Amino acid sequence: MRHSIALALYSAVAGVGVSAAPAAKATDKPVSFAQFLGSTSKTSFESFSAAGVRDSGAFKQMTDHIQSMYSGVKDPSKVTSFKIDDTYGDCIPVQEQPSVHLLGLGAGAAKLATPPSGAAIATSTSAPKGLSAATKVDIPSILSLGVKDVYGNSISCPPGTVPVQRLTPESLARYGNLTDFFYKPRAEADGGTGDKEIKTLGKRAGAHSYARAIDTVLNFGGNAWMNLWSPSGYFSISQHWYVVNVPHQTVEGGWAVNHQKWDGRARLFIYWTADDYQHTGCWNLDCAGFVQTSNKWYLGGPFDRYSVYAGGQVGFELQWKLYKGNWWLFLKANNGYESVGYYPAKIYGNGPITKHADYAKWGGETAPDSSYGQMGSGHFPAEGFGKAAYQNNIFTIPRDESGGYGVQAALSSLHITKPSCYTIATTPRSGSSWGSYFYFGGPGGKTCA
């Protein structure tokens, strides 16, 4: 478990401002993007054989992938970088980012897709009894806080660039091979193998467990405000999915704790697959897929605060919207929704999900290490506001159009794999400003395995 804190961004109380970053050690030196590329090309399997890499062939696949991802950067010396804990973010020109280069989207801003004029919005306006807007806080992007890293670099990216979390041999070597680095399993409720995966795939699958609501409704995306926590455990997610089944294709996003990938704090993430998680799909910008257009949000980045049990509650709004064949990501802070980028139709082979999704899902997911960790806040839904995790303002988007209104989710069926460990309690179409919502989560534990 990695807990080095190179940036003092973390407060025990929601709403407390950020403090200054601690000074770097005298022996520390930042690794520029150009230095990183040069050292990666000289890295050998022998120096990583003890890290769990399967063999020299697997290691070569990893380093080839890293080199390929950055092959479109014309002048590495002009790329600025920042560091949070042991992870670098590199500010790469929009037109030179991996997805634009590797997918052959072409040079020039006109070649990139044009976003819809705005996100879809909910129709409810009245406040729920006993709750108001003051009871929750929209978390800002870590790139908007005006802070610096341990080396004095601004944790932000200039206009015309996008933040790309640096892929290194060290970060990939933890997985043993490239396939496991990209991997995220399909759930049994979707027609996959779910908990049965562990019998044939071993720890990679990790018997993922779920507590989520599912609406089987044709849609063009959807929305949820997600209460942000940082639960203990090996792997824990709060997200929403938009899915077609044949072939199984998804668009996903939310927050995730993933100890193999990052440190122990929840991070902003997105994910996709075009073929049932078999040969396509990856987290964030870890492969050619998502085209980021905004320099304001850091996929894979942490947050400056988290919700506190019986205390301040924070979170963020995330929306996926299918528009002209591309799946656009919107994130909402205090200034309203902002378009972040899109999954182009090309990565799905212009498959069915580029026309619409067949159903939508919202909820939590965990996977074990020695035992199952916490989901959500680590407390059951019955504890309610301020103690249990939740998602609200949940709706689906009924039409492919610019802007428009969402339809409050019916939350019509539930998928709970380990009800003694995690549950979900839904309130569809509440008629309040919370719209459709649910509480979810639980403590996990060894008895879940």
DSSP string, 101-149: HHTT--SSGGGSPPPPSS--B----SPPTT--GGGSEEPPPGGGS--B-
Q: Is residue 17 part of a domain?
A: no
Q: Is residue 2 part of a domain?
A: no
pLDDT band at 11, cuts 50/70/90?
A: very low
Question: How far apart are alpha carbons 411 and 222 in whole angstroms?
Answer: 13
Q: What's the CATH number where 232 sits? A: 2.60.120
204 pLDDT exceeds 60? no
Question: How far apart are alpha carbons 107 and 115 in whole angstroms?
Answer: 18
245 pLDDT exceeds 50? yes
Question: How far apart are alpha carbons 370 and 349 in whole angstroms?
Answer: 39
The count of structural domains within the chain is 1
**Beta strands 389-396; 436-441: pairing state:** antiparallel
Residue 286: closest CA among 425, 365, 172: 172
Least confident of 124-133, 170-179, 222-231: 124-133
Q: What is the per-residue pLDDT for 188?
A: 53
Q: Which residue has the tokens 């008895």?
A: 447
Q: What is the per-residue pLDDT for 32?
A: 97
89 pLDDT exceeds 70? yes
Question: How far apart are alpha carbons 92 and 414 in whole angstroms?
Answer: 41
Question: How far apart are alpha carbons 168 and 445 in whole angstroms?
Answer: 33
pLDDT band at 337, cuts 50/70/90?
A: very high
Q: Is residue 322 part of a domain?
A: yes
Q: Is residue 307 part of a domain?
A: yes
Q: Is residue 215 part of a domain?
A: yes
Q: What is the per-residue pLDDT for 271?
A: 97
Question: How far apart are alpha carbons 29 and 140 in whole angstroms?
Answer: 29
Residue 375: closest CA among 410, 437, 419, 314: 419
9 pLDDT exceeds 70? no
For residue 260 the two structure tokens come to 């193999």
Task: Let me know: does 272 contact 354? Beta carbons within 8 Å.
Answer: no
Would you call 37 helix, strand, or coil by DSSP?
A: helix
- Residue type at 328 in one-letter notation: W
Helix ranges, 187-331 (H): 197-201
Task: Let me know: does 149 contact 82? Beta carbons within 8 Å.
Answer: yes
* Residue of higher predicted confidence among 85 and 353: 353
**Mean pLDDT throughout 370-377?**
93
Q: Is residue 70 part of a domain?
A: no
* E strand spans, 274-388: 291-292, 314-323, 326-333, 336-343, 359-367
193 pLDDT exceeds 70? no
Q: What is the pLDDT of residues 23-79, one digit of tens each?
A: 445 457 899 999 999 999 888 887 776 567 888 888 899 999 999 999 999 999 999
Residues in the chain: 449
Q: Which residue is catalytic, options 96, 197, 252, 317?
A: 252
Question: How far apart are alpha carbons 433 and 185 in whole angstroms?
Answer: 34
Catalytic residue check, 252:
yes
Least confident of 85-94, 105-114, 229-238, 349-358: 105-114
Helix ranges, 203-301 (H): none
Distances (CA, A) of 34 to 44, 53, 73: 18, 25, 10
- Which of 74-78, 273-277, 365-369 is modeled with the greatest confidence? 74-78
- Residue type at 219 in one-letter notation: N
Catalytic residue check, 365:
yes
Q: What is the per-residue pLDDT for 264?
A: 85
What is the span of the domain harbouring residue 424? 109-146+193-448
Q: Is residue 298 part of a domain?
A: yes
Would you call 368 helix, strand, or coil by DSSP?
A: coil
For residue 172 the two structure tokens come to 């990939």
Q: Is residue 176 part of a domain?
A: no
The answer to whether the predicted template modeling score (pTM) of the entire model surpasses 0.75 is yes
Q: Which residue is catalytic, options 197, 365, 383, 401?
A: 365
Task: Please report, rounded to a whole number, the percentage of residues in the chain having pLDDT higher than 90.
Answer: 68
Q: Which residue has the tokens 């044709």?
A: 218
**Mean pLDDT throughout 276-299?**
96
pLDDT band at 110, cuts 50/70/90?
A: low
Would you call 222 helix, strand, or coil by DSSP?
A: strand
